[in-house]
Amino acid sequence: MERLVSLKIGPVWPSITSTSWDGELMYGSFIDRKVGFGIAVDFLWNTNSVDSTLPSRQLLTIRDESHYMLPVMGFIVFDPIPNTIVHPMLKFEIGYNSLIYNYNSLIADTTPSRNGYYYGLIIKLGLDGLYNIGEQTAVFAGLEYQWADTRNAADNLGRFYRRDMSGIGLRMGFRFLL
C-alpha cells in the first residue's frame, strides 16, 4: 500500500456567485495503484466588490460580498491504467461543508441579513487526465462538478436561508505517491 498526496487548484463557477478559486489537499492510501481512499480538505474563496468613483475622484465601495467555504471530505479514486504515461483517474468525494458568507452594502436593503455560517453536505465527482513525470509523481488537469447546497441556522421566524455553491470547475495539480 502506498501513500497518496495530491495538491490541486483551479477555478469553480458556483451557481449563486461569480468565478471562485478552489484549492485542495488530499491524503490517503493507494491499493495496487488502482484504488485510493482517504481524506480531503478543500478551501474555496470568492470576493466581489462594486466600486464607484465620487466627483472628488475618491473610490467608494458600494457593495462587498464574500464566500469562504471549507469542506472536509472522504474520497475514493479509481485509476484503471496507472502504469501508462498518460492515464485517466476518476474521483468521488463526500463530506461536511462549512461556508462563511459576508455581505455589506451602502444602499438601504430591506431584506434581513443573511451573513454568517452556512453548512451542509458536499459531493464532488471529477475526471482527471494524469501525466506521469516520474515513478512516484504525476501532474494532472481535469474537470469536476460539486453539489453543495448549504443553509444557515433558522432565524427567529423559523426561516432558513440557502447558498447554492453547486457548479462546475477546472482543476490542475500534482499527485505524489510516497
Question: Residue 39 has which C-alpha cell?
Answer: 481524506
Could you tell me which of 77, 78, 75 has the C-alpha nearest to residue 95? Answer: 75
Domain ranges of the chain: 2-49+60-177
Classify 2-49+60-177 by CATH class: mainly beta
Distance CA 18, CA 33 (A): 37
74-118 confidence digits (pLDDT tens): 999 999 999 899 999 999 999 999 999 988 776 665 555 688 899
Distance CA 23, CA 26 (A): 10
Question: What does pTM read for this prediction?
Answer: 0.87
Distance CA 164, CA 141 (A): 25
Could you tell me which of 52, 35, 44, 16 has the C-alpha nearest to residue 124? Answer: 44
114-165 confidence digits (pLDDT tens): 888 999 999 999 999 999 999 899 999 999 999 998 998 776 677 788 889 9
Strands 149-152, 59-69: parallel, antiparallel or unpaired by DSSP? unpaired
Residues above pLDDT 90, as percent of the chain: 67
pLDDT of residue 109: 59
pLDDT of residue 136: 92
pLDDT of residue 116: 87
Distance CA 61, CA 175 (A): 41
Instruction: Answer yes or no: is pLDDT of 60 > 80.
Output: no
Residues above pLDDT 70, as percent of the chain: 85
